[in-house]
């Protein structure tokens, strides 16, 4: 069973409209949760991280994510998409007590003018 599921492989939005990228995970451990972004031909960059201090996490470039334990979800949102947000986004989770992170399969966000 997949530990981290990004529910959409591709999402297309118009510039100025909201963004929702969905992530569900399965874990028997209190998870650490991250969102990373990958622009074309680049390495990944941290957008935000859930540290258990607050369920709503604010990241860079106006992105937010909400940790919902009951739904085992950590969806990424942004109120208004910008052309520069076009990239691939990865949900990343620590799913057990070991030292490894598990990456979701990625969601490619396209932003139309």
Partner 1 sequence: EAQVTQNPRYLITVTGKKLTVTCSQNMNHEYMSWYRQDPGLGLRQIYYSMNVEVTDKGDVPEGYKVSRKEKRNFPLILESPSPNQTSLYFCASTKTGPFGELFFGEGSRLTVL
Among 7, 44, 86, 95, binds partner 1 (CB under 8 A): 44
Interaction of residue 94 with partner 1, rule CB under 8 A = yes
Interaction of residue 103 with partner 1, rule CB under 8 A = yes
- Yes or no: say if 24 and 69 are a contact pair by the CB < 8 Å rule: no
Listed in sequence order, the residues at least 6 apart from 62 whose beta carbon sits closer than 8 Å to its beta carbon are 78, 79, 80
**Binding residues for partner 1, total number by CB under 8 A:** 22
Per CB under 8 A, contacts with partner 1 among 60-89 are: none
Interaction of residue 101 with partner 1, rule CB under 8 A = yes
**First-to-last C-alpha distance (Å) of the chain:** 38
- Interatomic CA distance for residues 86 and 100, integer angstroms: 28
Interaction of residue 99 with partner 1, rule CB under 8 A = yes
State the minimum distance, in angstroms, from the CB of residue 10 to partner 1. 11
């Amino acid at each position: 069973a997949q530990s981290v599921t990004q529910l959409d492989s591709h999402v297309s939005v118009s510039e100025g409209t909201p963004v929702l990228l969905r992530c569900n995970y399965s874990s028997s451990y209190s998870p650490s949760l991250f969102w990373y972004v990958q622009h074309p031909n680049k390495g990944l960059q941290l957008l935000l991280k859930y540290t258990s201090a607050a369920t709503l996490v604010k990241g860079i470039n106006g992105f937010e994510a909400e940790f919902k334990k009951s739904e085992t979800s950590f969806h990424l949102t942004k109120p208004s998409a910008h052309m520069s947000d076009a990239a691939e986004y990865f949900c990343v989770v620590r799913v057990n007590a070991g030292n490894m992170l598990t990456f979701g399969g990625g969601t490619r966000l396209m932003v139309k003018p």
